[in-house]
Amino acid sequence: MVHAQVQPTPARAALQVHQAAHIGGDDRLGPGGAGAVLMDADGHVLAELTRSLGHATNNVAEYTALIIGLEEAKRRGVDDIDVRMDSKLVVEQMNGRWKIKHPNMKPLALRAGELWATFRRRSIAHVPREENGIADALSNKAIDDTLTTRAIDDAT
């Protein structure tokens, strides 16, 4: 389930995405979350999106964050998108410079690519995590929601 707060739709929008997955020292999957924020050309927030992922890798969370952001932009009729994300892996793969090697990532990358191709004008670039604060906070909120749900489930 994606949670969104909504505002009116622009033709041009900026999207910031972030993922988070807490991985234990023994390399087991940890709780993951995806967060994205859609903004108009003036930087006003149009939608804040989160998705709790349960146990997930960073790569799954990265692509999920991008997908939920692109889906929301498409739903709002945006046709000019500027994506900024702190995942160098996804940025380089979406730009076609790096291969998608892991077979489990291919369906997510294909979905992201399908959505990506529907935008008339599009750009994607890597930014440092510190420049991606809203999306970072949203991904952490998604993880907190996962942990809260697990704690409630464990108590019953």
**Structure token digits, residue 145:** 């929601």
Q: For residue 70, give the CATH number of its domain.
A: 3.30.420.10
Give 39: exposed, middle or buried? Use CB within 10 Å, 0-12, 13-18, 19+.
buried
DSSP letters for 66-127: HHHHHHHHHHTT--EEEEEES-HHHHHHHTTSS----TTTHHHHHHHHHHHHT-SEEEEEE-
Task: Print the domain residue range for 99.
Answer: 3-155
Instruction: Give me the tens of pLDDT residue by residue for the chain, a chain 156 residues long.
Output: 555 554 444 566 666 654 444 333 333 456 778 888 888 888 888 888 888 887 778 888 889 889 999 999 999 899 888 888 888 999 999 999 999 988 888 999 999 999 999 999 999 988 877 766 666 676 767 777 665 544 444 555
Q: How many folded domains does the chain comprise?
A: 1
Whole-model pTM: value is 0.76
**Structure token digits, residue 49:** 């999106």
